[in-house]
Amino acid sequence: MEAETLEASTRDIISWFDRVSTNAGVVQRETLRRIIELNHGVEYLKKWLGDIDVKEMDECEIESLYTSLVPLVSHADLEPYIQRIADGNTSPILTQHPITTLSLSSGTTEGRQKFVPFTSHSSQTTLQIFRLAAAYRSRVYPTRDGGRILEFIYSSKSFKTKGGLTAGTATTHYYASEEFKIKQEKTKAFTCSPPEVISSGDYKQTTYCHLLLGLFFRDQVEFITSTFAYSVVQAFASFEELWKEICKDIKEGNVSSRITIPKVRKAVLDIVKPNPILASKIEAVCGDLQGSDWYGLIPKLWPNAKYVYSIMTGSMQPYLKKLRHHAGSLPLVSAEYGSTESWIGVNLDPSLPPENVTFTVMPTFSYFEFIPLYRQNQDSSSGSVDFIEDEPVPLSQVKVGQEYEIVLTTFTGLYRYRLGDVVEVSGFHNGTPKLNFICRRKLILAVNIDKNTEKDLQLVVERGSELLSNHRAELVDFTSSAELVRQPGHYVIYWEIKGEVEERVLFECCREMDASFVDHGYVVSRRTNSIGPLELCIVERGTFKKILDHFIGKGAALSQFKTPRCTSDRMLLRILDLCTVKRVRSTAYD
Ligand code: AMP
């Protein structure tokens, strides 16, 4: 009965998605109708639509009326409305259903955290997309029913807003929701760690316990996961330091004194029992692994794991190399595409390498529009516009090969909200587009007429750091800033490196990076010295951990953490500068 239920539920969700994706255009218009009907009369919609009642209108009319009367907005435009909700105003401002929870998102701005409404719809769609993705994964990589998942997941501390609403990251709300439990039951795969560990609020203690319990349940672990790949990389970097202590705990059925939170200690102690045989097995494996720089750590420690599953695209791509090192021969499955504002697309082809993964848009989750983006003529001298935009089009009208910015209308009260992500349509699944994630829209590095996105920077760093591997060193993490105080302004790239590298090599890396920025504005400015030579700063080991701590201290959660790839944040620059141990300047244009 149980096994049949899993099979049936897998079949059901796949055939549901086949249905809605086949009729995606129609489903999108129905979704828009539902959102507007559900929120008929709310202050924000009234402002733009007046008293128009859409009940008597057909879906095409609603769509054209809505897109002609309601303006495109960014988070800043909606902030005053969201702030009133946060302050306790319970009148229908953005939604008819009162909003009791707010999420913190980093989606479109950096540095400053933003509130986004969170409702039960948010958790329900999370459950639905996870179940759908699990169904497709199980076709390629079947797992055993009742197995375990080693999940590196972390809740942040929730707090109350002035008006008494609960605020925290979206993942925090999800882990605390009923849907998180339902997902485990529906997919017949159970997380290794109890809720007390996930919600401890101290990411170091949580990581330790995840590792300890993951190893305690070693033979049952079917796959390893985290929201963003960074957390898996971070957890195994800690494991290299912690493994002896973890083995001791498994041997004695104990938990290290570094776990100081009483309810976490108790929850873990209720689970671990002394297992000296398992402990010595793990010790032996770790002894061997140390000799091979921990290559293939995951399959060697978790022999029944079928894959590693996490977001590996976009700003997570720089961690792929390390992840592949730890995963050895185990497949890497790139996880879904979404944001605190809404889930967007699902990975229906888990066997694809992360570099080629596409995300199939979920046409029932939100109403999506797409702003066509055209890369600007490379020799334009306008420093402020990165792309030329055309009029937004609905999902049914997107074209393969075209780049777009995504616009969302959600069940949670965001209307024609620019998400700030750039995607490219790579094809269709039935009638719904498949997207490549390209980058965040915002330019991150610019001094004058130069324009570089996160993706541009990533490629440059990739080129520069290739040289490190010839010297048995590796890049741990990186960020950058545009130094504008001293003239001429120039880019500064900060690297944390594992291994010793001679200064001569660093000069070469720096030169290579400087020469690899292909943006015409940059090249011209460098030639004329209106942008100075690129500066490479090497920071001491552990600096990016300090940066992580800084963000966690400000309420971020490890589950959603993304290293800022460019910063003008004074505190962050202070940490980076204090930790800089070596500086070199490029000679590329001398
Ligand atoms: P947040 O809401 O703060 O967790 O961040 C959401 C943002 O993370 C999105 O707007 C994207 O820029 C990025 N993101 C989420 N999922 C993916 C993915 N699968 N691939 C690449 N970037 C992603």
Whether 86 has a pLDDT exceeding 70, the answer reads yes
Whether 108 has a pLDDT exceeding 70, the answer reads no
The verdict on the CB of residue 559 being under 6 Å from ligand 1 is no
What gap in Å lies between CA 37 and CA 366, rounded to an integer? Answer: 14
- The pLDDT, as a whole number, for residue 379 is 41
Binned at pLDDT 50, 70 and 90, residue 411 comes out as very high
Whether 4 has a pLDDT exceeding 60, the answer reads no
Task: Kindly report, residue by residue over 330-366, the tens digit of the pLDDT.
Answer: 999 999 999 999 999 999 999 999 999 999 999 999 9
Among the residue ranges 19-23, 535-539, 569-573, the one predicted with the least confidence is 569-573
CB neighbourhood size of 474 (10 A): 17
pTM: 0.86
The SS3 assignment for 349 reads: coil
Cβ(587)–Cβ(532) under 8 Å?
Answer: no
Strand partners for 178:
none
Peptide bond into 142 cis (omega under 30): no
Name residue 138's amino acid.
S
Which residue from 391, 341, 345 is spatially nearest to 369, judged by alpha carbons?
391
The verdict on the CB of residue 419 being under 6 Å from ligand 1 is yes
Binned at pLDDT 50, 70 and 90, residue 377 comes out as low
- The pLDDT, as a whole number, for residue 106 is 63
Task: Kindly report, residue by residue over 426-482, the tens digit of the pLDDT.
Answer: 999 999 999 999 988 877 788 877 878 888 899 999 999 999 988 889 999 999 999
Whether 380 has a pLDDT exceeding 50, the answer reads no
Across residues 385-408, what is the average pLDDT?
A: 92
The verdict on the CB of residue 372 being under 6 Å from ligand 1 is no
Q: Is residue 126 within a helix (H) or strand (E), and if so which, with residue range?
A: helix 120-140
Mutate to test the pocket of ligand 1, among 130, 155, 311, 355 (most ligand atoms within 8 A of CB): 311
The verdict on the CB of residue 107 being under 6 Å from ligand 1 is yes
Cβ(132)–Cβ(430) under 8 Å?
Answer: no
The verdict on the CB of residue 314 being under 6 Å from ligand 1 is yes
Mutate to test the pocket of ligand 1, among 421, 439, 455, 458 (most ligand atoms within 8 A of CB): 421
What gap in Å lies between CA 38 and CA 97, rounded to an integer? Answer: 8
CB neighbourhood size of 184 (10 A): 15
Task: Kindly report, residue by residue over 563-583, the tens digit of the pLDDT.
Answer: 889 888 888 999 999 999 999
- The pLDDT, as a whole number, for residue 107 is 52
Say how many Å lie between the CA of residue 586 and the centre of ligand 1: 33
Q: Is residue 8 within a helix (H) or strand (E), and if so which, with residue range?
A: helix 2-22
Whether 285 has a pLDDT exceeding 80, the answer reads yes
Name the average pLDDT for the chain: 91
Across residues 383-412, what is the average pLDDT?
A: 89
Say how many Å lie between the CA of residue 268 and the centre of ligand 1: 32
Which residue from 583, 485, 570 is spatially nearest to 535, judged by alpha carbons?
583
User: Which residue's CA is the closest to the ligand 1 atom numbered 22?
Assistant: 314
Whether 385 has a pLDDT exceeding 50, the answer reads no
The verdict on the CB of residue 217 being under 6 Å from ligand 1 is no
- The pLDDT, as a whole number, for residue 432 is 98
Whether 170 has a pLDDT exceeding 90, the answer reads no
- The pLDDT, as a whole number, for residue 521 is 81
- The pLDDT, as a whole number, for residue 378 is 45
Cβ(332)–Cβ(323) under 8 Å?
Answer: yes
User: Which residue's CA is the closest to the ligand 1 atom numbered 16?
Assistant: 337
- Nearest-atom number in ligand 1 for the CA of 420 is 10
Tokens of 138: 């199980």
Tokens of 66: 């809505």
The verdict on the CB of residue 104 being under 6 Å from ligand 1 is no
Tokens of 437: 């994630």
Mutate to test the pocket of ligand 1, among 103, 414, 437 (most ligand atoms within 8 A of CB): 437
Rounded to a whole number, what is the distance in angstroms from the first to the last CA of the chain?
74
Q: Calculate the CA dihedral of residues 538, 541, 546, 551 and round it to 10 degrees.
A: 70
Q: Write down the H helix ranges in 222-355.
A: 229-252, 262-269, 276-291, 297-301, 320-327
User: Which residue's CA is the closest to the ligand 1 atom numbered 3?
Assistant: 106
Binned at pLDDT 50, 70 and 90, residue 232 comes out as very high
- The pLDDT, as a whole number, for residue 375 is 76
User: Which residue's CA is the closest to the ligand 1 atom numbered 17?
Assistant: 337
- The pLDDT, as a whole number, for residue 109 is 46
Tokens of 589: 């244009």
List Cα–Cα distances, 354 to 39, 193, 314, 324, 494, in angstroms: 38, 27, 10, 11, 26
Binned at pLDDT 50, 70 and 90, residue 112 comes out as low
